[in-house]
Amino acid sequence: MKRLGYILGLSLILVSAAVLSLYVTSPSREGAVNNAGHGDARAAVVLDLSLVGSSGARVSRPIRYFRLSNGTTIVVEDRNPFPFEIRLEPSVAGMEVPGRLTVYRVEAYRGADEVLELLEKIGVEAKGVRYDNATKTFIYSDERVYVEYETETGFMRIVFREPLDREAVDSILEVLGYREGECGKRVVTTVDVNGTPLEKGVVYYRMFDGLPSNIAVLVRYRGDRVVAVEGVVPKSLVAVGSYQVTPVDELPRLLAERVSGKVDARDWMLDNVAFTNLTITKIQLVYRLTPKGYIVPVYVLEGHYELRYDGINEEGTVKGAIVAVKP
């Protein structure tokens, strides 16, 4: 479940509307955010706001093959080869959004000393840790607990070999920056193929500038006892700068440029690009952690697609996202 796959339905987005404001505040308010880099120097910062990493598929979706009436096979992978149109449903067209929003950066715990100090704060008396250079992850394990900490994004997993009482976890959550009552909360439940509940979880999430995000932790329960805590645990969060928000009415053009391949960008994702008509029916503005450790405003999209071409007739639901600011 690396990279917060449990969040917000897309592979990197957290629970459909989630996340906190603890040591993060708007730059205009007092708080523990480091505002270094604001002003003229900020213009020189080059931001990599990719929603997907540089390796692997650009978007999490299967490659599709279509056989045309003349026997030709069309392969659909990263771009849409069909003539197409993208539009907004009237209910979302003209949606009001802020004029500007702040982009943040996760400062993770980096060195072994910092990670050992973090372990000590959560009650783990570790004399040493292992480091996996391939995944850039510190690992600690003993008879009581298993801990991973990923230094690129600040993702942390704590597995309790003997499940703990909920009250015993409160102090750990406070150290991690997710104090009860100071962050958003959502209950989630996993079920088996028959719909029988298997495990309950509670997501504690942060808000940025009044918007939900996937900077969050999931507390996993078995019965009424806690078996694990996992999520993003930054050392600090840095406000990189304030950026203009893309108006919603520009989304059809921006998506069309990317879906057609005219613009080569990694700031978007759709789970299907094979369509002749796509109508965006739902838009949500959220904050999202990127693979490069930025916390960036993103439009989360849902829509209905149709593919009518040379005897091909299908329709269905599309989900996706696109970065909502202009760096």
Residue 173 sits in a domain whose CATH number is 3.30.310
Whether residues 187 and 263 fall in one domain: no
Residue 158 pLDDT: 97
Please check whether residue 15 lies inside any domain of the structure. no
* Domain edge (last residue) among 211, 240, 269: 240
* Domain edge (last residue) among 186, 207, 240: 240
- Tell me which range, 201-210, 218-227, 232-241, 296-305, is most confidently predicted by mean pLDDT: 296-305
Q: Percent of the chain scored above 90 by pLDDT?
A: 64
Q: Can you tell me the mean pLDDT for 210-234? A: 92
Whether residues 236 and 134 fall in one domain: yes
How many residues are given for the chain? Answer: 327
Q: What are the φ and ψ backbone dihedral angles of 82, each rounded to 5 degrees?
A: -85, 155
CA distance linking residue 243 with residue 324, whole number of Å: 9
Whether residues 155 and 107 fall in one domain: yes
Please check whether residue 28 lies inside any domain of the structure. no
For the cut 70, the answer to whether the pLDDT of residue 28 exceeds it is: no
CA distance linking residue 20 with residue 39, whole number of Å: 26
Q: Provide the pLDDT confidence category of residue 90 given band limits of 50, 70 and 90.
A: very high
* Domain edge (last residue) among 219, 240, 261: 240
C-beta separation of 160 from 227 below 8 A = yes
- pTM score: 0.78
Total domain count for the chain?
Answer: 2
Query: What residues make up the domain containing 284?
Result: 51-102+243-326
Angle CA 69–308–266, to nearest 5: 105
- What SS3 class is residue 3? coil
Whether residues 166 and 231 fall in one domain: yes
Name residue 87's amino acid: R
Whether residues 112 and 210 fall in one domain: yes
Q: Please name the residue ranges forming H helices in 177-288.
A: 251-260
pLDDT tens per residue across span 114-161? 999 999 999 999 999 999 999 999 999 999 999 999 998 899 999 999
Residue 79 pLDDT: 94
Whether residues 112 and 236 fall in one domain: yes
Whether residues 258 and 233 fall in one domain: no
Please check whether residue 190 lies inside any domain of the structure. yes
Q: Can you tell me the mean pLDDT for 89-97? A: 94
Please check whether residue 154 lies inside any domain of the structure. yes
